[in-house]
Amino acid sequence: MMKEHQQYLSEMVKELKPSGIRKFFDLAASIKGVISLGVGEPDFITPWSIREAAILSLEEGYTSYTANPGLLELRQEITAYLQKRFGVQYNPVDQVIVTAGASQAIDLSFRAILNPGDEVLIIEPAFVSYAPLVTLAGGKPIPVSTHHSNGFKLTPEQIENAITSKTKAILLCSPNNPTGTYLNKEELTKIAAVVEKHDLLVVSDEIYAELTYDDEYTSFSSIEGMYDRTILINGFSKGFAMTGWRLGFLAAPKPFTEQMVKILQYTTMCAPHMLQHGAIEALRNTYHEVESMRRSYRRRRNYIVQSLNLVGLDCHTPGGAFYVFPSIKKTGMTSEQFAEELLLAEKVAVVPGSAFGESGEGYIRCSYATSMEQLQEAMQRIKRFMESLESKESRVQKLSAKN
Amino acid sequence: MRLSSEELEVLSILEENHRIPVEDIALMVNSSVEDVTAIIKKLEDEKIIVSYPALIDWSKVVGKENIVAMIDVKVTPKRGVGFDDVAERIYRFPEVTSLYLMSGAYDLSITIEGKTMSEIARFVSEKLSTIDNVISTTTHFMLKKYKHDGVIFGENNDRDRRMVVSP
Ligand SMILES: Cc1ncc(COP(=O)(O)O)c(C=O)c1O
């Protein structure tokens, strides 16, 4: 006789927490007329010439597997791009792997470097996948909190405090999801010193590299002495508006990529052939479109940061990505309560900061990857919501003064 | 005229949508309402911003459908003033909605709008071809407008297909 299905399942998988975002998605999806500031992807559709290149590829019958690490032609474009944009040099033949999104690249990295019990520092608030992927690879995610007081920037001391003899690597994400925080060259150099001192590796998630608004981007791999310690992860999802294509890539020292290719070979073979042709076109001919999208996000960032501060939600100015992370602490609510009440009262969806780790509590993530018209309307609604909270509060105060 | 990056930014915002309030533009470019107002005034005074028309799809309005034709015109340029003199004589007609000097097989490209085909035919035979220096005209009637000034007409398929909330 068969036992309960639960009893057949892997303990590790059962213990994985479902993403805090999922819960909110279900609630928001059940309400009509919602303006969503909860979307973690561009509001642009992939530039036409990229789509056309993939269509052409299908028409011409490119429907076979490619080499495991991807088409050499694409890897060559990737290394040329990394060299030109970030000044880092990789060999297209054996140092680059095309993956199913940055997501798979992160997964490959952890699987390739972690032994059971190895610790990986996850800088929180953090993208929801990192910790579960470390766990699935047999490692132990160690959260490191950053703080609003310095714009959620990671400091060398915060790393030092979390390091043990088991620490293997740090996952760096700049610009960050959900805070939008960007680390400049000077800040990265200070972090590099700690990495060197403790002989660590860095998995550098640079998926938002094209979306910085005040400074030129610095890749962690370009910091002196860090090339050999870095697995550079990037992709097409955000900068090129290609999330649904599931195309990303990683670049790393050859001893790492050699091992990762084995994993890729046995798990997914390669990224889809015709879509890789789209990616070649993206890197070759569409950079002006990336720049125009960046300009558009920058305007919206300026607008939303100032508008949120004007309605009394304290918000730092993030240097990149398309998220702002205002504090809702003054309302006295938890971030989940706030997000839920805002959704029910004004039909604006935001993501509670607690979904991104403990230090996200007291904040909400607002994505400004949505049209200016929608942002303007959302700000009106948030303003009304904040006013209703204030008048409620003053009523309560008056009542308690009477008693 | 060389413009500052802030002025260029204001232009590009207005080009996309000129009905956006000055207060919002100021937030978008990290500037004050006074400064943005001054920038817009300067751009208007310099005729860099020429006007703020609305883009209307008249074909959707019963009784207001216009007939549009594009006319290629060959002219002999006049000594001293080149094409400008002839061009001026043509663009003064209110039914001419655009006029360009072109390189290639002909010289001037005219867009003209009228209520009926015969109205346009009359313009060509009575007004245009009688102008001195106009050697020949070729008239093309527009059958359907798909895209105009960067805007796609008709049904918009680019609606938001994203999930409401995602990581
Ligand atoms: C920080 C971060 N890394 C990685 C990803 C995943 O990107 P991809 O679509 O390339 O898998 C995301 C997507 O939201 C992200 O925010």
Residues A356 and A346 in one domain: yes
> What's the mean per-residue pLDDT of chain B?
93
Residues A225 and A124 in one domain: yes
Q: Which secondary-structure segment (H or E) carries A256?
A: helix A254-267
Rounded average pLDDT over B138-156: 88
Q: Which secondary-structure segment (H or E) carries B67?
A: strand B67-75
Please give the full DSSP string across A165-180, using - where no structure is assigned.
TTEEEEEEESS-TTT-
CATH T-level fold of B58-144: Alpha-Beta Plaits (3.30.70)
Q: How many angstroms separate the alpha carbon of residue A401 from the centre of ligand 1?
A: 51
Residues A78 and A157 in one domain: yes
Please check whether residue A217 is in contact with residue A263, taking contact to mean a CB–CB distance below 8 angstroms: no
What is the token pair recorded at A233? 């992860």
Tens of pLDDT, residues A249-291: 999 999 999 999 999 999 999 999 999 999 999 999 999 999 9
Rounded average pLDDT over A149-164: 97
Please check whether residue A122 is in contact with residue A110, taking contact to mean a CB–CB distance below 8 angstroms: no
Rounded average pLDDT over A28-41: 94
Tell me which of A48, A179, A299 to substitute to probe the interface with B (most B C-beta atoms closer than 10 Å): A299
Residues A388 and A355 in one domain: yes
Asked if B167 and A127 come within 8 Å (Cβ–Cβ), the reply is: yes
Residue B155 has pLDDT above 80, yes or no: no
Tens of pLDDT, residues A167-205: 999 999 999 999 999 999 999 999 999 999 999 999 999
Of B27, B158, B165, the CB nearest to A349: B165
Distance, CA of A320 to chain centre: 11
Residues A226 and A264 in one domain: yes
- Determine the residue type at A143: P
Of B13, B20, B165, the CB nearest to A21: B165
Q: Which secondary-structure segment (H or E) carries A251?
A: strand A248-251
Please give the full DSSP string across B95-128, using - where no structure is assigned.
TEEEEEE-SSS-SEEEEEEESSHHHHHHIIIIII
What's the length of chain A?
Answer: 403
Residues A352 and A391 in one domain: yes
> What's the mean per-residue pLDDT of chain A?
96
CATH number reported for the structural domain that contains residue A358 in this entry: 3.90.1150.10
Q: How confident is the model at residue A22 (pLDDT cuts 50, 70, 90)?
A: confident
Range in A11-20, A181-190, A337-346, B131-140 with the lowest mean pLDDT? A11-20
Strands A248-251 and A230-235 turn out to be: antiparallel
| Alpha carbon of B162: minimum distance to chain A alpha carbons (Å) | 8
Give the nearest chain B residue to A374 (CA atoms).
Answer: B160
Atom index in ligand 1 nearest the CA of residue A127 equals 1
CB pairs under 8 A between A and B: 61
Which CATH architecture is the domain B5-45 placed in? Orthogonal Bundle (1.10)
Cis peptide before A253 (omega within 30 of 0): no
Give the range of the structural domain holding residue A119, as residue numbers without chain letter: 48-286
Atom index in ligand 1 nearest the CA of residue A235 equals 10
Domain boundary among A286, A306, A333: A286
What's the N-to-C CA distance of chain A in angstroms? 66
Tens of pLDDT, residues A104-148: 999 999 999 999 999 999 999 999 999 999 999 999 999 999 999
Choose among A221, A222, A154: nearest CA to A191. Answer: A154
Q: Enumerate long-range contacts of A387-391, CB under 8 Å, 24 or more apart.
A: A388/A345, A389/A331
Residues A196 and A294 in one domain: no
Tens of pLDDT, residues B23-33: 999 999 999 99
Residue A228 has pLDDT above 90, yes or no: yes
Residue A361 has pLDDT above 80, yes or no: yes
Chain A residues closer than 8 Å to B162 by CB: 39, 41, 43
How many whole angstroms separate alpha carbon B65 and alpha carbon B88? 27
Residues A175 and A241 in one domain: yes
Let me know the angle formed at the C-alpha of A185 by A180 and A188, rounded to the nearest 5 degrees: 75
Tens of pLDDT, residues B47-70: 999 999 998 888 889 988 889 999
pLDDT at residue A299, as a whole number: 97
Of A28, A45, A299, the CB nearest to B164: A28
Domain boundary among A259, A286, A313: A286
Give the nearest chain B residue to A347 (CA atoms).
Answer: B164
Please check whether residue A338 is in contact with residue A364, taking contact to mean a CB–CB distance below 8 angstroms: yes
The total number of structural domains that make up chain A: 2
How many whole angstroms separate alpha carbon B95 and alpha carbon A331? 61
Any residues with Cβ below 6 Å from ligand 1, and which? A 40, 101-103, 127, 173, 177, 205, 207, 235, 237, 243, 248; B 167
pLDDT at residue A48, as a whole number: 96
Q: How many angstroms separate the alpha carbon of residue A103 from the centre of ligand 1?
A: 6
Domain boundary among A246, A268, A286: A286
Strand ranges inside A49-181, DSSP E: 96-99, 119-124, 140-145, 167-173
Residue A402 has pLDDT above 70, yes or no: no
Residues A305 and A321 in one domain: yes
Choose among A42, A56, A47: nearest CA to A273. Answer: A56
Give the nearest chain B residue to A37 (CA atoms).
Answer: B165
Q: How confident is the model at residue A403 (pLDDT cuts 50, 70, 90)?
A: low
Q: Enumerate long-range contacts of B77-86, CB under 8 Å, 24 or more apart.
A: B77/B107, B77/B133, B78/B133, B83/B107, B83/B108, B86/B131, B86/B133, B86/B134
What is the token pair recorded at B50? 């020429």
Of A41, A45, A306, the CB nearest to B166: A41
What is the token pair recorded at A141? 């995610």
Residues A27 and A143 in one domain: no
Asked if B165 and A28 come within 8 Å (Cβ–Cβ), the reply is: yes
Rounded average pLDDT over B110-117: 94
Residues A173 and A104 in one domain: yes
Question: Helix, strand or coil for residue A203?
Answer: strand
Chain A residues closer than 8 Å to B9 by CB: 295, 299
Q: How many Cα atoms within 13 Å fall on the side-chain side of residue A121?
A: 30
Distances (CA, A) of A53 to A41, A276, A282, B108, B149: 22, 9, 9, 36, 25
Closest CA to ligand 1's atom 7: A102
How many whole angstroms separate alpha carbon A324 and alpha carbon A303? 11
Atom index in ligand 1 nearest the CA of residue A236 equals 10
Tens of pLDDT, residues A205-215: 999 999 999 99
Of A25, A303, A307, the CB nearest to B165: A25
Residue B78 has pLDDT above 90, yes or no: no
Please check whether residue A302 is in contact with residue A294, taking contact to mean a CB–CB distance below 8 angstroms: no
Please check whether residue A283 is in contact with residue A239, taking contact to mean a CB–CB distance below 8 angstroms: no
Residues A261 and A295 in one domain: no
pLDDT at residue A221, as a whole number: 98
What is the token pair recorded at A104? 């798979």
Chain A residues closer than 8 Å to B33 by CB: none
Q: Is A39 exposed, middle or buried (0-12, 13-18, 19+ CB in 10 A)?
A: buried
Which value does ipTM take for this structure?
A: 0.87
Give the nearest chain A residue to B6 (CA atoms).
Answer: A299
How many whole angstroms separate alpha carbon A97 and alpha carbon A138? 22
Let me know the angle formed at the C-alpha of A194 by A192 and A197, rounded to the nearest 5 degrees: 110
How many whole angstroms separate alpha carbon A172 and alpha carbon A175? 9
| Alpha carbon of A297: minimum distance to chain B alpha carbons (Å) | 10
Each domain of chain B, given as residue ranges in start order, spans: 5-45, 58-144
Atom index in ligand 1 nearest the CA of residue A40 equals 14
Atom index in ligand 1 nearest the CA of residue A100 equals 11
pLDDT at residue B149, as a whole number: 86
**Is the pTM here over 0.80, yes or no?**
yes
Supply the angle between the helices A287-310 and A372-402 in degrees, to the nearest 10.
Answer: 20
| Alpha carbon of A372: minimum distance to chain B alpha carbons (Å) | 9
Q: How confident is the model at residue A227 (pLDDT cuts 50, 70, 90)?
A: very high
